[in-house]
Amino acid sequence: MSAEPAPLPQELIRVKRDGARLAPREIGALVAGVASGALSDAQVGAFAMAAFLNGLDRDETVALTAAMTASGVRLDWPDVDGPVLDKHSTGGIGDAVSLLVAPAVAACGGVVPMIAGRGLGHTGGTLDKLDAIPGYVTGPNLDVFVRTVRSAGCAIVGQTAEIAPADRRLYAIRDVTATVESIPLITASILSKKLAAGLSSLVLDVKTGSGAFMATTKRAEALARSLVEVAAGAGLPAVALLTDMDEPLACVAGNALETRHAIEILAGRRSDARLMEVTLALGAEMLLLGGLAPDAASARSALEAAFASGAAAERFALMVAALGGPGDIVERPATHLAAAPIVRAVTPERDGVVSGVDARALGLAVVALGGGRTGADDAIDHAVGLAELAGVGEEVGAARPLATVHARDEADAERAAAAVRAAYRLAASGEPVRRPPLIQERIA
């Protein structure tokens, strides 16, 4: 008996375009074509748009996740000394949590093989931040990745060629086809990489607010539940936290700026309350899922001790050196990280208190400076961005700017300054301002 012929990809795209359901075999055929290159970029984009507009049900999402996981190798960690843990953020502005939480959890006994992503749309990407470190290889071969995890306890890298190659291609095409926000596609993208990494558990940071892809709490909660439920269906214990992205998480936005900011925090030379609060909350969930702490208070204390003692900084330095970066990055970040030639303060048009921020507009301002991509293959200027960003509730005026712009030239600086002013809403000085809770919900 002859084998059943493979379905034509254009017919499968038509099925989803018309709102019908795809069977697991049909989804598997599409994913195989994505991974092999048999599907053109136009066909992959068409499938992504059809899925975005008509959705994928839970079974289709599980099938897509499984097919993308199976498109490459699946790692195993039989002899590591500790639970294999990870976290993933859905993306935002000023979110350098990965650079802090991975080495801190490693210092507490976890093993963290973190497969991270690049910036999508208006958001920053962890790999773009690490690319700002000279010599750091965000795309190592599998042997180097595994060796770094074993020696440093953590490694933050992109997808190697062997891990979920179908997702790697689909991820890049989603970024430039306005299909980033699809809950099923996000779910399958995140979980396929995490399942391929051989995790024992996963913590998810799902952002909500103006700077998030899921701007409304309802959409963010739907994504969080999708991630937790599909992960559970795949045998991966997971917890999700809904966190606020109605303003930047840190006071900086931009690749080298955020990397240096994280290093200064690791070294104990700087603090950032909002960034650290999310870092500690996510890290505590990781330790709890991994059985490395008996309760949340103990987990948080262990992480705080890892930062205070320098153990987290030591793990970060080991990771950077093992992946090709300078051995003294923690001691001398300014020596190694690029700086923009133009730095300009952005003062508000009037004094007042910050009552709101369009975080997405700030992210787009960074992209316009050259710190993000408008095309899949665009080069990034790691030096540019925004620093000293004022937070909600802060008094601003001539003595306290809204931000400082780090730009390549004066024209870029002027455009960014105008974008920053437009992104901020001010109330009269002394007027009470409401700030939403930073951590809004826990979903398990």
Residues 327, 215 share a domain: yes
Position 376 scores a pLDDT of: 61
What is the DSSP pairing of strand 395-396 with strand 352-357? antiparallel
> Residue 391: which CATH number?
3.90.1170.30
d(Cα 178, Cα 180) in Å, to the nearest integer?
6
Q: Is residue 73 part of a domain?
A: no
Q: Measuring CA to CA, which residue among 81, 86, 105 is closest to residue 306?
A: 105
Q: Is residue 61 part of a domain?
A: no
Q: Is residue 70 part of a domain?
A: no
CB 87 within 8 A of CB 286: yes
Residues 253, 111 share a domain: yes
Structural domain range at position 17: 9-55
Catalytic residue numbers, as ranges: 86-89, 126, 174, 189, 193-194
pTM: 0.91
- Number of domains present in the structure of the chain: 3
Q: Is residue 170 part of a domain?
A: yes
Q: Is residue 442 part of a domain?
A: no
Residues 323, 353 share a domain: no
Amino acid (one-letter) located at 263: I
Tokens in use for 420?
């920053």
Mean pLDDT of 45-67: 95
Q: Is residue 89 part of a domain?
A: yes
Residues 151, 233 share a domain: yes
Average pLDDT of every residue of the chain:
94
Residues 15, 120 share a domain: no
What is the DSSP pairing of strand 352-357 with strand 385-387? unpaired
* Percentage above 70 pLDDT, the chain: 98
Residues 222, 94 share a domain: yes
Residues 288, 382 share a domain: no
Quick: pLDDT tens for 120-163.
Answer: 778 889 999 999 999 999 999 999 999 999 999 999 999 888 89
First-to-final CA distance of the chain: 47
What pLDDT band is residue 4 in, cutting at 50, 70 and 90?
low
